[in-house]
């Protein structure tokens, strides 16, 4: 084993999106044995850096669902962004239908200035379609998005699109099952973008050539490591391209059934420190 790579939300982090110290310690133990470590996530690079700094980790990073790859010294290995015309059209579609979304570069997550209002109304308009939530749980869920380290609130996205940025992905979130299904169906057939799923209330658009699997190939080539020498952890559909290519694939217990079916191992859940459990089990 020469590289361990883990998804973040639903895998390495607990259900409250907090760092699990045992998972951090397990990765550090692997590093002490000479094994490289990496994070592969839908989050942007800036957000991952802030999280890892708090956890005192220094991994390689695959961010924005594979749009960007950085080594552990901050060198960009790969970047593959969305066409701006496709971005503009997608945002117009989402705006017209009142979706909450973020437009992400490698360091910033741009979201509407009235994001809290959009998300609250989305829930209120969907009470007959989704699981019941207490006001406290709703606020907690909304705050996860609005307090991201890299969040930037904007009133005019045209001004953002005029900047010389590489946009890695668009993330759309809704608590309405009907809107969720409609959005996923629409963008799954959208020319010029690929649609991927990282969670139960979300769908994301990335460049057709961007994926965690393709990004991992770029990282392993940079590190001169064979994919057979990689252990990867994941829980959702956006992890499948990565899990299918590695020598040791691990799904956490809370993973989607389709993810479990393609993995060699199923560990404990994210809340039960599934990443740490399997690292210790396989590495000793």
DSSP assignment of 67-88: TEEE-TTS-EEEE-PPPHHHHH
- pLDDT of 129 above 60: no
Q: Is the same domain home to 107 and 174?
A: yes
Residue 137 clears pLDDT 90, i.e. is over it: no
Could you tell me the pLDDT band of residue 135, with boundaries at 50, 70 and 90?
low
Is a pLDDT exceeding 90 seen at residue 66? Answer: yes
What gap in Å lies between CA 253 and CA 273, rounded to an integer? Answer: 10
Sheet containing 151-154, strands listed edge to edge, beginning at the edge strand earlier in sequence: 151-154, 109-112, 100-104, 169-173, 202-206, 194-196
Alpha helices in 7-134 (DSSP H): 21-32, 45-55, 84-96, 115-124
Same domain, 238 and 250: yes
- Give the CATH number of the domain where residue 33 resides: 3.40.50.1000
Give me the pLDDT at residue 172, please: 96
Q: What value does the mean pLDDT take over residues 207-229?
A: 98
**Would residue 7 show up in a list of annotated catalytic residues for this protein?**
yes
**In whole angstroms, what is the distance from residue 166 CA to residue 106 CA?**
8
Last residue of a domain, one of 173, 206, 239: 206
Query: Given a cut of 90, is residue 187 above it in pLDDT?
Result: yes
Residue 23, domain extent: 3-79+210-283
Asked whether residue 192 falls in the same domain as residue 253, the answer is: no
Query: Please, are residues 126 and 179 in contact by the beta-carbon 8 Å criterion?
Result: yes
Q: Which has the higher per-residue pLDDT, 9 or 132?
A: 9
119 and 89 both lie in a single domain: yes
Domain count for the chain: 2
Q: Which residues pair with residue 234 across a beta bridge? A: 251
128: confidence class by pLDDT, cuts 50, 70, 90: low
Catalytic residue among 7, 9, 106, 176: 7
- Mean pLDDT over 29-58 rounds to 96
**Model pLDDT, residue 101:** 95
Q: What is the C-alpha to C-alpha distance for residues 138 and 120, in angstroms, rounded to an integer?
A: 8
pLDDT band at 63 (very low <50, low <70, confident <90, very high): very high
% residues pLDDT > 90 (the chain): 83
Instruction: Name the pTM for this structure.
Output: 0.92
* 105 and 197 inside one domain: yes
pLDDT value, residue 127: 62
pLDDT at 9 over 80: yes
Asked if residue 227 and residue 149 are part of one domain, the reply reads: no
Domain end call among 206, 227, 247: 206
């Amino acid at each position: 084993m020469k590289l361990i790579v883990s998804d973040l939300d639903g895998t390495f982090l607990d259900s409250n999106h907090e760092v699990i110290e045992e998972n951090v310690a397990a990765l550090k133990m692997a590093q002490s044995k000479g094994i490289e470590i990496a994070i592969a996530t839908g989050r942007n690079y800036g957000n991952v850096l802030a999280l890892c700094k708090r956890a005192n980790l220094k991994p390689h990073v695959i961010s924005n669902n594979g749009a960007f790859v950085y080594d552990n010294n901050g060198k960009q290995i790969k970047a593959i962004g969305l066409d701006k015309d496709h971005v503009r059209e997608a945002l117009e579609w989402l705006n017209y239908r009142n979706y909450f979304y973020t437009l992400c570069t490698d360091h910033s997550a741009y979201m509407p200035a009235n994001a809290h209002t959009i998300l609250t109304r989305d829930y209120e308009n969907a009470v007959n379609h989704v699981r019941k939530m207490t006001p406290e749980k709703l606020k907690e869920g909304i705050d996860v998005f609005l307090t991201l380290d890299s969040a930037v609130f904007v009133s005019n996205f045209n001004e953002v699109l005029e900047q010389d940025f590489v946009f890695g992905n668009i993330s759309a979130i809704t608590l309405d099952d009907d809107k969720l299904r409609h959005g996923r169906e629409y963008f799954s057939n959208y020319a010029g973008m690929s649609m991927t799923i990282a969670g139960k209330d979300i769908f994301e658009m990335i460049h057709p050539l961007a994926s965690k699997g393709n990004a991992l190939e770029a990282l392993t080539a940079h590190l001169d490591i064979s994919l057979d020498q990689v252990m990867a952890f994941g829980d959702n559909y956006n992890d499948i391209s990565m899990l299918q290519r590695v020598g040791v694939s691990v799904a956490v217990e809370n993973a989607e059934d389709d993810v479990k079916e393609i993995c060699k191992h199923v560990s404990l859940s994210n809340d039960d420190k599934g990443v740490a459990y399997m690292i210790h089990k396989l590495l000793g």
